Chains A and B, each alone.
Chain A
Amino acid sequence: MAEAHDRPPEQFTLRMRRYDPESGSAPYWDEHTVELEPHRSVLEGILQARDRFDGSIGIRCSCRQAICGSCGIRVNGEPALACHTHLDAALASANDGVIEIEPMGNMPVIKDLIVDMDAVHWKKIQRVTPWLLAKQPVPEREYLVSKESMVDVTQTMACIQCGACVSDCLAMEVDPGFIGPAALAKAYRFVGDPRDDQQFERLNDLAQDPQGIFDCTHCFKCVEACPKGVNPMGQIMRLRRIATQDHHIVDQNNGERHEAAFASLIKNNGILWEAELIPRSYGGNSWFGKFAPAAGKELMSSIPTAVRGLLRGKMTIPKILKPHRIPKPDLGAVQAIYDKIESRPERYELNLYIAGEDEPKEPAAVATGAAEESTSPEGSANR
């Protein structure tokens, strides 16, 4: 809900992580106290410090309204656009009453808050063939396509390339080669575009790549990080669904079967049976399948993980040998969700740009989407 914008200026202390590549010294912390109305942005705070105290503070910025994508930083450890983060909100999430400001992660720092986006972000964008491969022949006027399809891809078109999602992508931290949330969201912008001629080729490419769509670990970090509601992880999941369900692409990374195994395990047990996951990923949901040679290999390689789980008590021998289930009534409720989703004639896909309600008095947007989408305005389902 709207907040009050009529409070007088207050003092805010910013602790900035500075780095001067020419000094030969390590990064250091630098504190400045600024005075601004609480709803003003962290960017305005940084600029006041720069204007009044130290003109050498390095930060990229331009529009001040969250559209140019220049000022991606970390505020109190979380990725954000400096111009899109209010000082009072930043103070509320600070540990010790000081707003901590750092450059984004997963990208090398050039100076102060400025990171090398070319070396990471833009390279990954180029990986996904980021231009329309238009269907031929090109019409004389516009391509005739549905209203919904254009609104749909506008969600990913709305990505401002700020890098906030890249900054905190956990999969990229482990595997720097992962194509990553921003570039894969960009890929959806073409895969979802009915004017593009290469939907299958694009999806097959991204599915077969070991660092492609199945490299995402579903951690939601990018969804939280995105200042524009692009929902990068959601787009990656849509790429997976279109690749597997519409094009029946079976990838060499076993991503498609792994995901199916996950889904069927939860359907059967209501909770994950870890020991069965890998065999089922390779052999499918059958007893003989468990002895697939590739499964054996993968099982061997995951023994250290299993042992660690045993040592920490996360796993027990009976849990490994015997399927564990949630209580029956709960399992029934879980399975009812599956039944409801699987009985739909068409898949529901979410899009923030298609808003569900017209009149304020109507009940909130269709329930399907409400839980998954946290960014406002209200998300809702569309087919």
Chain B
Amino acid sequence: MPAHDVLIIGAGLAGQRAALAAAEEGASVAIMSKVHPVRSHSVAAAGGINAAISVDDDWRSHAYDTVKGSDFLGDQDAIEVMCSEAPKEVMELEHMGVTFHRNDKGEMDLRAFGGASMKRTAYVADITGQALLHVLYEQLLKHHETVARYEEWFTTSLLRDEHGNCCGAIARDVRSGKMEAFTAKNVILACGGAGQAYKPTTNGLIVTGDGISMAYRAGAPLMDMEMVQYHPTCLVETGILITEGARGEGAHLLNANGERFMEKSAPNKMELASRDVVSRAEQIEINEGRGVGPDKAGIYLDITVVPRKRTLEALREIVNLGKDFAGVDITREPIMIRPGQHYIMGGVKTDVDGRTPIDGLYAAGEVACVSVHGGNRLGANSLLDTLIFGRRSGEHAAKRAASMGMPEVDVNAQLLEDAARIDAIIKRPRDGRRVSEIKTELGETMNKYAAVFRDEAGLQGALETIHRLREEADKAWIDDRGTVFNQDVLGAIELGYMVDCAETTVVAAIERKESRGAQFRTDFPERNDGEWLKHIDVTLTQDGGAGGPQISYSPVTITQWQPEERKY
């Protein structure tokens, strides 16, 4: 049975950064992912990474922009940590080999991004996430003697000992179907968000809320789950993302009358207001009949105003995306976009070292909620979040491991239970619905009722639907009876994870009776600091979950920036 000081679940940016940090502290490290690490969805992050590295910049300015972007729901102590450590972190990645674009002096070039008061986003064309992810994977290959890699292993549950501490995980080798218990002194969850609970979404098919759900089932509180980011520029048909870097380079948003409608809601920042503001403005144009396209369901993103050479050099990926996925040459004509589900600000509640309230369990990256993004994440802050809190989690977990022995825990019962659960799914009779049908209904429900605009009636209806879908998911049948690469059975397990994420999102959205950040309640259209300047925590009742999600609150940490009216 494998045993490690630190077991990391998820091998995107947060996981790989945590693995490197823990290995550097001398811990024995294992990193596990249901896909090969370079397939992780961090790869799709395009625009860049924020850090106050310019001599004219100051991390406090970055921190203030982030606080304001979060609509004052972000915890300011955590934001200070992230923004103050950002320059060093980005330099370290540069030293590892990330091919950041340069200015004429040979220094890292910076581009403008939404909600930022100055150019602060370092980038590699529009493949920044890919470049970071691949360079970190190079480092994992380099450190292969100290970091064990379990590639294509699917985690089914977290292990806890009799004291309630997290002490490992049960996983299935996707390739062979073998079940295995991994004991560990510490587990770091780094397995991303839950975008697939929405349809459409910019997120990959693998982004199914595994970590959020496993932590929730193990008793960890989730925080800010109602805060779901809709990215302003997604292709109308497929939901594929067009990077915010396009607007950073100067692209305009136009309605059917050819107006730059952002004048109305953000006269100063225009297209570079924060994402919640831009998405809402777009949705208003569409709802009021000023959308473009056959169903008037889109908005024009006009990139032709950016010099062509610059577009080809710095936005090459979206030039290709436009051509391949929308049939549009973005250097010659505007492209039709609309807001689309992109990111969840919420996740497993942690402190600035990635610790959850369960000893031995850490979380970092999109799976976690520190909370640095509060009600709305700024573009190019997510890569930063993954690296800073991935590293801090890895360091902290390694240090904690150094002071303790390997947990002795009887894993057999849970190992057998998980194996039996999978076996039962494989043998289910074909009298329910298909996994794919339930998943589609779940995604469409979320995208209709827990989207840019929400109200009580819609959310309550969505919750009822989710409850029915949960029952159906428990009986959903699959085709694949095999063990080798049985992706079908994994899909059924993922569906359960996504239902958890959807339920906690809707429950929290019903609870928050105000409009803040990404949560806009048409029945409560104002921000209400008096009652709601606080986080909503959702915990699963520990009676086997029969009582469902329980709501509690935690305070927002304010250090130097008092809430004020938010204007862009």
**Residue B553 CB within 8 A of the other chain:** no
**Residue B328 CB within 8 A of the other chain:** yes
Chain A residue nearest in CB terms to B321: A65
Contact A160 B130 (CB under 8 A): yes
Cα-based distance from A190 to B141 in the complex (angstroms): 15
* Interface mask (A41-53 → B, CB under 8 Å = 1, otherwise 0): 0000000001110
Cα-based distance from A360 to B312 in the complex (angstroms): 12
Contact A154 B434 (CB under 8 A): no
Contacts of A131 in B (CB 8 A): 96-97, 138-139, 141-142
Given contacts A56-B482, A64-B204, A132-B97, contact A377 B319 (CB under 8 A): yes
Contact B138 A132 (CB under 8 A): yes
Task: Out of A21, A68, A144, A190, name the residue touching B106 (CB < 8 Å).
Answer: A144
Cα-based distance from A319 to B299 in the complex (angstroms): 67
Cα-based distance from A190 to B134 in the complex (angstroms): 13
Contacts of B95 in A (CB 8 A): 134, 138-139, 142-143
Q: Distance in Å from the Cβ of A234 to the closest Cβ of chain B? A: 17
Q: Distance in Å from the Cβ of A366 to the closest Cβ of chain B? A: 13
Chain B residue nearest in CB terms to A375: B320
Within 8 A of B (CB), among A152-174: 153-154, 157-158, 160-161
Chain A residue nearest in CB terms to B324: A84
Task: Out of B141, B237, B483, name the residue touching A5 (CB < 8 Å).
Answer: B237
Contact A134 B97 (CB under 8 A): yes
Q: Distance in Å from the Cβ of A85 to the closest Cβ of chain B? A: 9
Contact A69 B39 (CB under 8 A): yes
Contact B127 A67 (CB under 8 A): yes
- Surface stretch bound by B, among A91-99, A245-253, A351-359: A351-359
Task: Out of A4, A55, A67, A70, name the residue touching B480 (CB < 8 Å).
Answer: A55
Contacts of B491 in A (CB 8 A): 55
**Residue A62 CB within 8 A of the other chain:** yes
Given contacts A22-B482, A141-B91, contact A70 B141 (CB under 8 A): no
Contacts of B328 in A (CB 8 A): 2
Q: Distance in Å from the Cβ of B369 to the closest Cβ of chain A? A: 23
**Residue B327 CB within 8 A of the other chain:** yes
**Residue B102 CB within 8 A of the other chain:** yes
* Interface mask (B48-75 → A, CB under 8 Å = 1, otherwise 0): 0000010000000000000000000000
Contacts of B109 in A (CB 8 A): 147
**Residue B556 CB within 8 A of the other chain:** no
Q: Distance in Å from the Cβ of B489 to the closest Cβ of chain A? A: 9
Contacts of B332 in A (CB 8 A): 360
Contact B240 A65 (CB under 8 A): yes
Contact B44 A68 (CB under 8 A): yes
Contact B479 A54 (CB under 8 A): yes
Given contacts A134-B97, A357-B308, contact A4 B238 (CB under 8 A): no
Contacts of A189 in B (CB 8 A): 99
Top 5 A-B pairs, shortest CB-CB distance: A132-B97, A355-B312, A51-B436, A56-B480, A62-B204
Chain A contact residues, majority secondary structure? loop
How many A residues touch B, CB cutoff 8 Å?
Answer: 77
Cα-based distance from A63 to B482 in the complex (angstroms): 25
Within 8 A of B (CB), among A283-317: none
Contact A151 B101 (CB under 8 A): yes
Contacts of B319 in A (CB 8 A): 377
Contact A147 B101 (CB under 8 A): yes
Task: Out of A52, A67, A150, A357, name the residue touching B99 (CB < 8 Å).
Answer: A150
**Residue A117 CB within 8 A of the other chain:** yes
Contacts of A54 in B (CB 8 A): 479
**Residue B22 CB within 8 A of the other chain:** no
**Residue A114 CB within 8 A of the other chain:** yes
**Residue B561 CB within 8 A of the other chain:** no
Within 8 A of A (CB), among B278-337: 294, 307-309, 312-313, 316-317, 319-321, 323-329, 331-333
Cα-based distance from A28 to B97 in the complex (angstroms): 45
Cα-based distance from A358 to B309 in the complex (angstroms): 4
Chain B residue nearest in CB terms to A48: B436
Interface size bucket, B side?
A: 35 or more
Cα-based distance from A215 to B310 in the complex (angstroms): 37
**Residue A111 CB within 8 A of the other chain:** yes
Q: Distance in Å from the Cβ of B8 to the closest Cβ of chain A? A: 19
Given contacts A2-B328, A63-B41, contact A355 B130 (CB under 8 A): no
Contact B329 A2 (CB under 8 A): yes
Contact B326 A147 (CB under 8 A): no
Cα-based distance from A67 to B41 in the complex (angstroms): 9
Contact B107 A355 (CB under 8 A): no
Chain A residue nearest in CB terms to B202: A65
Task: Out of A4, A67, A195, A354, name the residue touching B43 (CB < 8 Å).
Answer: A67
**Residue B471 CB within 8 A of the other chain:** no
Within 8 A of A (CB), among B490-540: 491
**Residue A145 CB within 8 A of the other chain:** yes
**Residue A210 CB within 8 A of the other chain:** no
Q: Distance in Å from the Cβ of B52 to the closest Cβ of chain A? A: 13
Contact B485 A110 (CB under 8 A): yes
Q: A67-B130, A68-B40, A125-B141 are in contact. List 16 more A-B contacts (CB 8 A).
A: A2-B323, A5-B327, A55-B436, A55-B488, A63-B43, A69-B39, A86-B324, A110-B485, A131-B97, A131-B138, A142-B100, A142-B107, A147-B104, A151-B101, A157-B99, A157-B127
Task: Out of A62, A138, A141, A358, name the residue touching B205 (CB < 8 Å).
Answer: A62
**Residue A146 CB within 8 A of the other chain:** yes
Q: Distance in Å from the Cβ of A235 to the closest Cβ of chain B? A: 14
Contact A154 B488 (CB under 8 A): no
Cα-based distance from A4 to B326 in the complex (angstroms): 9
Chain B residue nearest in CB terms to A116: B175
Contacts of B419 in A (CB 8 A): none
Given contacts A22-B483, A131-B141, contact A142 B312 (CB under 8 A): no
Contacts of B102 in A (CB 8 A): 145-147, 149-150
**Residue B103 CB within 8 A of the other chain:** yes
Contacts of B206 in A (CB 8 A): 62
Contact A158 B101 (CB under 8 A): no
Contacts of B94 in A (CB 8 A): 142-143
**Residue A77 CB within 8 A of the other chain:** no
**Residue A342 CB within 8 A of the other chain:** no
**Residue A120 CB within 8 A of the other chain:** no
**Residue B105 CB within 8 A of the other chain:** yes
**Residue A3 CB within 8 A of the other chain:** yes
Contact A3 B436 (CB under 8 A): no
Contact B39 A64 (CB under 8 A): no
* Interface mask (B458-485 → A, CB under 8 Å = 1, otherwise 0): 0000000000000000000011111111
Contact B105 A144 (CB under 8 A): yes
**Residue B551 CB within 8 A of the other chain:** no
Given contacts A58-B487, A147-B101, contact A354 B313 (CB under 8 A): yes
Task: Out of B100, B324, B481, B483, name the residue touching A150 (CB < 8 Å).
Answer: B100
